[in-house]
Chain A
Amino acid sequence: MLKLHYNLEKVSMGLVVAIIVAASIGGIVEIAPLFRIDETVQLPEDLRPNTPLELAGREIFIREGCYACHSQMVRSLGDELDRYGPYSLAAESAYDHPMLWGSKRTGPDLARLGEKYSDDWHVAHLIDPRAVVPASIMPAYPWLMRPLDTGLLRDGLATLARLGVPYDEAQIAAAPADALAQSRPDSTEAEGFIERWGEEIALRDFDGDPARLTEMDALVAYLQSLGRLTDAPYRLMAAEEGAQ
């Protein structure tokens, strides 16, 4: 075996071919399953993509580096189920580009955070974490009360649609208007929002300042949507618990 390698080293073209063969085995083992991802990951019927406002919040979540300290994946371990709830499913982040599972937790996992705390708490906590959780080491994000730039939302939705997220043309065209409408339940635009996105989605002023659409609105709307895009993990968990 070693002798074979020794001789191979002396034939440069042979060595090149052998390197390509060896490297492609590693490549194929990792890449081949992805060609069948549509069959292995089944999307639940009730899975919805993020609304424009939530999507803007997701961009802010990424911009501020929240993912560096907060994972978004409940692992399949007993104590994680006890603390956070059902373990995360691959399908839950099927519409996430990129996904934000994370692997390191300086803060708690956020995969089941949606509607656990009130909007007011999120606003107070983001502006000054120590005001509500004295022992917190999370940085403060007071600048989030500045106006939200919705200029790129239409392109953002269009890009995701090309990647396979089911946004229709009406949703893409109205993205900036719908971002505003989701934070204004009493406005005339809210009707159009409900028509395009359905009645189940949280429609309210998230940042406590109804006059302005801020980055805080977007981020809190996103945080309140975490783990609430589908009920599949809860259904599966109930079925598994029942089966044992």
Chain B
Amino acid sequence: MSAHRDQPPEVDPVTGYDTTGHDWNGIKELNTPFPRIVIWALVITFVYSVIAWVLLPAFPWGRDYTRGLLGLDQRELAVEQFRKMDAVRQDWLPRFADADYAALAGDEALMAQAMPAAARLFQDNCAACHGATGDGGPGFPVLSDGYWLWGGDPETIAETLRYGINATHPDTRIAEMPSFNWMSREERAAMASHVAGMLDGRSDPDSAAGVSFVENCAACHGEAGEGGLDIGAPSLIDEAVIYGQDRASVMRTLFDGRAGVMPAWEGRLSEAEIGLLALYVSGLSRADAEDAQ
């Protein structure tokens, strides 16, 4: 083949292209030139990359990097973009940082503007546990039924949001149903039946379990199980128990105890967002009550 190197390439008469000089029993191979469009595309991308390299941040360089003539910084851009989005809310959102909820709720124009945002905030942060409509979940409180363990006015809800319950915040609310596994199984079974029966008034307060209830449970749940002490202990006569009040569930609660966690949102949500959500959540139960009427 080296013989071909010095000769001029043979030209194919039909296409006008050179041949490679390879010859297989008289069949010769065309040396079709590389398509122009591909070469131009390559050239354009090369040129573009050089321009981009000059204009944009491109390559690490020692302790720094080539910053580019435009001086763009993705972090600054993101923060700027975020502030622009945030600016749209600035004419109404900061008002929710002050705690005069009655005045805020009375301002209908403000509420019309704010509640759609509140609903989205609720979906992003609260709905995972409390359900998309605030109807709760297995082991997670219902927010739409008007029954509250800590009080349902916006001020109290805002405080629960801020500090959480059994959360990692230093000012967290603390509520624990202790374990009664020191009781004998029979005592616990009798107590479970007693507590399950309180719902429909089948329980006898003068029974052994009834006496034991006053001794062990009344301090938090109230003497007749009426709750309402706003210390995180539910009423036992209002179907307010998060974990179920059938006999088996109560047995489990008595044995293991309960200490559900509401995370603290201070830091993750701004004070204004917490105020907004507090109003929204307090409104969930009111909306439900209106539906019922």
Q: Which residues of A does B touch, CB under 8 Å?
A: 2, 10, 29, 32-33, 36, 39-40, 75-83, 85, 87, 115-121, 124-125, 131-135, 202, 208, 234, 237, 240-241, 244
Contacts and interface: CB of A to CB of B under 8 A. Distances in A.
Nearest to B1: A10
Q: Chain B, interface size: which category?
A: 35 or more
B110 interface: no
B138 A82 contact: no
Interface stretch (B58-66, B199-207, B228-236): B58-66
Given A115-B263, A117-B129, A120-B260, A40 B60 contact: yes
A234 B267 CA distance: 9
Contact of B81 (A32, A77, A117, A240): A77
B77 interface: yes
Nearest to B73: A76
A120 B139 contact: yes
A241 B83 contact: yes
Contacts of A75: 78
Interface of B: 5, 34, 39, 59-60, 62-63, 65, 74-86, 124-125, 127-129, 132, 137-140, 167-168, 256, 260-263, 267-268
A218 B265 CA distance: 24
Contacts of A32: 60
Given A124-B138, A133-B128, A78 B81 contact: yes
A208 B139 CA distance: 12
A75 B74 CA distance: 10
Given A78-B78, A79-B85, A124-B138, A118 B262 contact: yes
Please list the 9 inter-chain residue pairs (A to B) with the smallest Cβ-Cβ separation, ordered nearest first: A78-B81, A118-B261, A76-B78, A33-B60, A78-B82, A81-B82, A132-B137, A76-B74, A240-B79
10 contacts: A76-B78, A78-B80, A78-B84, A81-B82, A83-B124, A85-B268, A87-B78, A115-B167, A118-B262, A240-B75
A119 B262 CA distance: 10
Given A33-B60, A39-B63, A118 B263 contact: yes
A135 B60 CA distance: 45
Given A117-B263, A134-B132, 7 more contacts: A33-B59, A36-B60, A79-B81, A79-B85, A132-B140, A133-B128, A202-B168
